[in-house]
Amino acid sequence: MSGGKAGLLTLDRTEVLQIYERLVRDFENSGDPIHPAGIRDDHLLESAISRQHVSISNILKYPDPPSNAATLGFGLCNTHPFYNGNKRTALVSILVHLDKNKQCLWGTNEEQLYDFILAVANHGVAEWVTRQLGLKLEYEPGEGRTEIEVRAIATWLAHHAEPVRRGEERIITYKELRKILRRFGYELENPADSYIHVVHYGPDGRSKSIDTIWYPGDAREVSISAIKRVREKCGLTEEDGIDSKVFYGRHAIPIDSFINRYRLVLRRLADA
Protein backbone atom coordinates (compact mmCIF):
# COMPACT_ATOMS: atom_id res chain seq x y z
CA MET A 1 0.00 0.00 0.00
CA SER A 2 1.53 3.30 -1.02
CA GLY A 3 0.96 6.48 0.89
CA GLY A 4 0.54 9.88 -0.70
CA LYS A 5 0.79 13.25 0.97
CA ALA A 6 -1.79 14.46 3.49
CA GLY A 7 -3.08 10.92 4.06
CA LEU A 8 -3.83 10.18 0.40
CA LEU A 9 -3.30 6.52 -0.50
CA THR A 10 -2.13 5.61 -3.99
CA LEU A 11 -1.60 2.38 -5.92
CA ASP A 12 1.93 1.15 -6.46
CA ARG A 13 3.30 -0.98 -9.29
CA THR A 14 2.74 -4.22 -7.38
CA GLU A 15 -0.91 -3.42 -6.81
CA VAL A 16 -1.58 -2.34 -10.41
CA LEU A 17 0.05 -5.54 -11.67
CA GLN A 18 -1.97 -7.52 -9.14
CA ILE A 19 -5.14 -6.02 -10.64
CA TYR A 20 -4.00 -6.76 -14.18
CA GLU A 21 -2.93 -10.34 -13.43
CA ARG A 22 -6.20 -11.03 -11.60
CA LEU A 23 -8.14 -9.79 -14.64
CA VAL A 24 -6.02 -11.97 -16.94
CA ARG A 25 -6.69 -15.06 -14.82
CA ASP A 26 -10.36 -14.29 -14.38
CA PHE A 27 -11.04 -13.85 -18.10
CA GLU A 28 -8.69 -16.52 -19.48
CA ASN A 29 -11.41 -19.17 -19.73
CA SER A 30 -14.14 -16.79 -20.85
CA GLY A 31 -15.10 -15.69 -24.32
CA ASP A 32 -13.21 -12.43 -23.75
CA PRO A 33 -9.67 -13.41 -22.68
CA ILE A 34 -6.97 -10.76 -22.33
CA HIS A 35 -4.77 -12.04 -25.14
CA PRO A 36 -1.98 -11.56 -25.72
CA ALA A 37 -1.37 -10.65 -22.09
CA GLY A 38 1.60 -8.86 -20.60
CA ILE A 39 3.34 -5.53 -20.31
CA ARG A 40 3.79 -3.87 -23.71
CA ASP A 41 5.98 -1.03 -22.47
CA ASP A 42 7.37 -0.92 -18.95
CA HIS A 43 8.23 2.77 -19.22
CA LEU A 44 4.61 3.59 -20.07
CA LEU A 45 3.41 1.54 -17.11
CA GLU A 46 5.76 3.40 -14.76
CA SER A 47 4.65 6.69 -16.29
CA ALA A 48 0.97 5.91 -15.72
CA ILE A 49 1.57 4.94 -12.09
CA SER A 50 3.85 7.90 -11.38
CA ARG A 51 1.13 10.33 -12.49
CA GLN A 52 -0.29 9.95 -8.97
CA HIS A 53 2.83 11.57 -7.50
CA VAL A 54 3.31 14.56 -9.78
CA SER A 55 3.86 17.64 -7.64
CA ILE A 56 4.45 21.35 -8.08
CA SER A 57 6.57 23.03 -5.40
CA ASN A 58 6.19 19.86 -3.32
CA ILE A 59 2.39 20.08 -3.52
CA LEU A 60 0.59 17.20 -5.21
CA LYS A 61 -1.01 18.17 -8.50
CA TYR A 62 -3.80 15.69 -7.80
CA PRO A 63 -4.20 15.85 -4.00
CA ASP A 64 -7.60 14.20 -3.40
CA PRO A 65 -8.87 10.66 -4.11
CA PRO A 66 -11.10 11.51 -7.12
CA SER A 67 -8.44 13.52 -8.98
CA ASN A 68 -5.64 11.10 -8.06
CA ALA A 69 -7.69 8.09 -9.18
CA ALA A 70 -8.58 10.05 -12.32
CA THR A 71 -4.98 10.65 -13.39
CA LEU A 72 -4.04 7.02 -12.73
CA GLY A 73 -7.03 5.74 -14.70
CA PHE A 74 -6.31 8.14 -17.57
CA GLY A 75 -2.70 6.98 -17.75
CA LEU A 76 -3.53 3.26 -17.68
CA CYS A 77 -6.31 3.64 -20.23
CA ASN A 78 -4.63 5.90 -22.75
CA THR A 79 -0.91 5.11 -22.72
CA HIS A 80 -1.68 1.40 -23.33
CA PRO A 81 1.09 -0.05 -21.14
CA PHE A 82 -0.34 -3.56 -21.58
CA TYR A 83 -0.85 -5.45 -24.83
CA ASN A 84 -4.54 -5.85 -23.99
CA GLY A 85 -6.88 -5.17 -21.09
CA ASN A 86 -5.94 -1.53 -20.57
CA LYS A 87 -9.52 -0.22 -20.24
CA ARG A 88 -10.48 -3.01 -17.86
CA THR A 89 -7.38 -2.43 -15.75
CA ALA A 90 -8.06 1.31 -15.68
CA LEU A 91 -11.63 0.85 -14.44
CA VAL A 92 -10.76 -1.61 -11.67
CA SER A 93 -7.75 0.50 -10.65
CA ILE A 94 -9.98 3.57 -10.27
CA LEU A 95 -12.42 1.62 -8.10
CA VAL A 96 -9.66 0.11 -5.96
CA HIS A 97 -7.98 3.50 -5.58
CA LEU A 98 -11.18 5.08 -4.29
CA ASP A 99 -11.82 2.12 -1.99
CA LYS A 100 -8.35 2.41 -0.44
CA ASN A 101 -9.24 5.98 0.40
CA LYS A 102 -12.57 4.81 1.88
CA GLN A 103 -14.66 6.13 -0.98
CA CYS A 104 -16.93 4.40 -3.47
CA LEU A 105 -19.20 5.36 -6.36
CA TRP A 106 -22.90 5.99 -5.72
CA GLY A 107 -25.74 6.99 -8.01
CA THR A 108 -24.29 5.42 -11.14
CA ASN A 109 -24.87 2.18 -13.05
CA GLU A 110 -23.10 -0.26 -15.31
CA GLU A 111 -24.19 1.49 -18.51
CA GLN A 112 -22.76 4.79 -17.28
CA LEU A 113 -19.49 3.16 -16.20
CA TYR A 114 -19.14 1.56 -19.63
CA ASP A 115 -19.81 4.86 -21.41
CA PHE A 116 -17.47 6.64 -18.99
CA ILE A 117 -14.46 4.41 -19.70
CA LEU A 118 -15.14 4.47 -23.43
CA ALA A 119 -15.23 8.26 -23.32
CA VAL A 120 -11.89 8.24 -21.49
CA ALA A 121 -10.37 5.86 -24.07
CA ASN A 122 -11.72 7.88 -27.01
CA HIS A 123 -10.57 11.22 -25.57
CA GLY A 124 -14.14 12.46 -25.44
CA VAL A 125 -14.57 12.42 -21.69
CA ALA A 126 -14.67 16.22 -21.29
CA GLU A 127 -17.65 16.44 -23.63
CA TRP A 128 -19.28 13.36 -22.08
CA VAL A 129 -19.01 14.75 -18.54
CA THR A 130 -20.36 18.10 -19.75
CA ARG A 131 -23.47 16.35 -21.07
CA GLN A 132 -23.85 14.03 -18.08
CA LEU A 133 -23.56 16.65 -15.36
CA GLY A 134 -24.79 19.71 -17.21
CA LEU A 135 -21.51 21.50 -16.53
CA LYS A 136 -19.32 23.66 -18.69
CA LEU A 137 -15.67 22.69 -18.52
CA GLU A 138 -13.40 25.40 -19.80
CA TYR A 139 -9.64 25.37 -20.28
CA GLU A 140 -7.71 26.94 -17.45
CA PRO A 141 -4.59 29.04 -18.16
CA GLY A 142 -1.77 26.81 -19.40
CA GLU A 143 -4.00 23.72 -19.45
CA GLY A 144 -3.70 21.24 -22.29
CA ARG A 145 -6.08 18.60 -23.58
CA THR A 146 -4.73 15.95 -21.21
CA GLU A 147 -5.24 18.17 -18.17
CA ILE A 148 -8.83 19.02 -19.03
CA GLU A 149 -9.61 15.33 -19.67
CA VAL A 150 -8.18 14.34 -16.28
CA ARG A 151 -10.11 17.19 -14.67
CA ALA A 152 -13.29 15.96 -16.36
CA ILE A 153 -12.71 12.42 -15.07
CA ALA A 154 -12.07 13.78 -11.58
CA THR A 155 -15.20 15.93 -11.74
CA TRP A 156 -17.38 12.94 -12.63
CA LEU A 157 -15.79 10.73 -9.97
CA ALA A 158 -16.15 13.45 -7.33
CA HIS A 159 -19.81 13.89 -8.26
CA HIS A 160 -20.47 10.20 -7.54
CA ALA A 161 -17.93 9.54 -4.77
CA GLU A 162 -19.20 9.07 -1.23
CA PRO A 163 -17.54 7.79 1.94
CA VAL A 164 -17.79 4.04 2.31
CA ARG A 165 -20.50 3.23 4.80
CA ARG A 166 -19.46 -0.02 6.44
CA GLY A 167 -17.97 -1.12 9.69
CA GLU A 168 -15.06 -3.00 8.17
CA GLU A 169 -12.10 -1.72 6.19
CA ARG A 170 -12.57 -3.80 3.07
CA ILE A 171 -15.13 -5.60 0.95
CA ILE A 172 -13.63 -9.03 0.34
CA THR A 173 -14.57 -12.35 -1.18
CA TYR A 174 -14.34 -15.73 0.53
CA LYS A 175 -11.25 -16.42 -1.58
CA GLU A 176 -9.60 -13.31 -0.14
CA LEU A 177 -10.76 -14.17 3.38
CA ARG A 178 -9.11 -17.57 3.00
CA LYS A 179 -5.76 -15.92 2.17
CA ILE A 180 -6.06 -13.50 5.08
CA LEU A 181 -6.87 -16.20 7.62
CA ARG A 182 -4.05 -18.39 6.37
CA ARG A 183 -1.56 -15.71 7.49
CA PHE A 184 -2.78 -16.20 11.05
CA GLY A 185 -2.80 -20.00 11.04
CA TYR A 186 -6.46 -20.50 10.14
CA GLU A 187 -8.07 -22.24 7.18
CA LEU A 188 -11.50 -22.42 5.56
CA GLU A 189 -12.16 -26.10 5.01
CA ASN A 190 -14.75 -28.79 4.26
CA PRO A 191 -17.54 -26.81 2.58
CA ALA A 192 -20.91 -28.57 2.75
CA ASP A 193 -24.54 -27.53 2.49
CA SER A 194 -23.64 -23.84 1.92
CA TYR A 195 -21.45 -23.69 5.03
CA ILE A 196 -17.70 -23.90 5.60
CA HIS A 197 -15.57 -24.58 8.69
CA VAL A 198 -13.04 -22.16 10.16
CA VAL A 199 -10.17 -24.30 11.41
CA HIS A 200 -7.04 -23.34 13.37
CA TYR A 201 -3.73 -25.16 12.96
CA GLY A 202 -1.30 -25.05 15.87
CA PRO A 203 2.51 -25.23 15.67
CA ASP A 204 2.30 -29.00 16.04
CA GLY A 205 0.05 -29.23 13.00
CA ARG A 206 -3.02 -30.25 14.97
CA SER A 207 -6.30 -28.71 13.87
CA LYS A 208 -9.11 -27.27 15.95
CA SER A 209 -12.54 -26.32 14.65
CA ILE A 210 -13.30 -22.70 15.54
CA ASP A 211 -16.59 -21.89 13.83
CA THR A 212 -18.89 -22.60 10.90
CA ILE A 213 -20.00 -19.77 8.60
CA TRP A 214 -22.26 -19.30 5.59
CA TYR A 215 -20.41 -20.10 2.36
CA PRO A 216 -21.99 -19.37 -1.05
CA GLY A 217 -18.69 -19.85 -2.93
CA ASP A 218 -15.16 -18.50 -3.17
CA ALA A 219 -16.06 -15.69 -5.58
CA ARG A 220 -18.89 -14.29 -3.48
CA GLU A 221 -18.52 -11.38 -1.09
CA VAL A 222 -18.33 -12.02 2.65
CA SER A 223 -20.92 -10.12 4.65
CA ILE A 224 -19.73 -7.57 7.19
CA SER A 225 -21.38 -9.56 10.00
CA ALA A 226 -19.52 -12.72 8.91
CA ILE A 227 -16.15 -10.91 8.87
CA LYS A 228 -16.80 -9.51 12.34
CA ARG A 229 -17.83 -12.92 13.63
CA VAL A 230 -14.74 -14.65 12.22
CA ARG A 231 -12.43 -12.01 13.66
CA GLU A 232 -14.04 -12.33 17.08
CA LYS A 233 -14.03 -16.14 17.09
CA CYS A 234 -10.39 -16.25 15.95
CA GLY A 235 -9.17 -13.55 18.30
CA LEU A 236 -8.23 -11.23 15.45
CA THR A 237 -9.98 -8.04 16.56
CA GLU A 238 -8.52 -4.70 17.54
CA GLU A 239 -9.02 -5.66 21.19
CA ASP A 240 -6.78 -8.65 20.51
CA GLY A 241 -4.08 -6.38 19.08
CA ILE A 242 -5.01 -7.03 15.45
CA ASP A 243 -6.38 -3.82 13.95
CA SER A 244 -7.88 -3.68 10.46
CA LYS A 245 -4.61 -2.64 8.84
CA VAL A 246 -2.85 -5.69 10.27
CA PHE A 247 -5.79 -8.02 9.59
CA TYR A 248 -6.24 -7.13 5.93
CA GLY A 249 -2.53 -6.77 5.29
CA ARG A 250 -0.61 -5.05 2.53
CA HIS A 251 -2.05 -6.90 -0.42
CA ALA A 252 -5.67 -7.27 0.65
CA ILE A 253 -7.09 -4.96 -1.99
CA PRO A 254 -10.62 -5.95 -3.05
CA ILE A 255 -9.93 -6.84 -6.68
CA ASP A 256 -12.18 -9.90 -6.84
CA SER A 257 -15.12 -7.97 -5.42
CA PHE A 258 -14.96 -5.30 -8.12
CA ILE A 259 -14.41 -7.83 -10.91
CA ASN A 260 -17.47 -9.78 -9.77
CA ARG A 261 -19.62 -6.69 -9.24
CA TYR A 262 -18.83 -5.13 -12.62
CA ARG A 263 -18.28 -8.26 -14.67
CA LEU A 264 -20.79 -7.26 -17.36
CA VAL A 265 -19.09 -3.89 -17.83
CA LEU A 266 -15.68 -5.52 -18.03
CA ARG A 267 -16.90 -8.02 -20.62
CA ARG A 268 -18.37 -5.24 -22.75
CA LEU A 269 -15.12 -3.27 -22.52
CA ALA A 270 -13.28 -6.29 -23.91
CA ASP A 271 -15.12 -5.83 -27.21
CA ALA A 272 -15.00 -2.02 -27.26
CATH of the domain at 229: 3.30.920.30
Q: Are residues 240 and 261 in the same domain?
A: no
Q: Are residues 6 and 48 in the same domain?
A: yes
Question: For the residues 157-162, what does the mean pLDDT come to?
Answer: 94
Measuring CA to CA, how many Å separate 183 from each of 2, 157, 175, 187? 21, 35, 13, 9
Residue 215: CB partners within 8 Å, gap ≥ 6? 174, 188, 191, 194, 195, 196
Domain count, the chain: 2
Q: Is the dihedral of CA 61, 63, 66, 70 positive or negative?
A: positive
Q: What percent of the chain shows pLDDT beyond 70?
A: 94
- Please give the Cα distance from 172 to 177 (Å, whole number): 7
Using DSSP's 3-state secondary structure scheme, residue 16 falls into helix
- Please give the Cα distance from 236 to 243 (Å, whole number): 8
Q: Are residues 136 and 266 in the same domain?
A: yes
Q: Are residues 102 and 122 in the same domain?
A: yes
Q: Are residues 59 and 102 in the same domain?
A: yes
Q: Are residues 242 and 258 in the same domain?
A: no
CA 175 to chain centre: 16
Q: Are residues 69 and 192 in the same domain?
A: no
Q: Are residues 161 and 181 in the same domain?
A: no
pLDDT band of residue 251 (cuts 50, 70, 90) is: very low
CATH of the domain at 151: 1.20.120.1870
- Predicted TM-score of the model (pTM): 0.77
For residue 243, the enclosing domain spans 174-248
Q: Are residues 87 and 33 in the same domain?
A: yes
Query: Given a cut of 90, is residue 249 above it in pLDDT?
Result: no
* Span 198-226, pLDDT tens digits: 999 877 888 899 999 999 998 888 888 89
Question: For the residues 235-244, what does the mean pLDDT come to?
Answer: 86
Q: Are residues 135 and 210 in the same domain?
A: no
Q: Are residues 6 and 112 in the same domain?
A: yes
Residue 14 or 261, more confident: 14
Residue 264 or 94, more confident: 94
- pLDDT score at 202: 79
Contact of 269 with 95, CB cutoff 8 Å: no
Q: Are residues 97 and 213 in the same domain?
A: no
- Please give the Cα distance from 272 to 267 (Å, whole number): 9
- pLDDT score at 1: 40
pLDDT band of residue 178 (cuts 50, 70, 90) is: very high
Residue 266 or 31, more confident: 266
Residue 116 or 135, more confident: 116
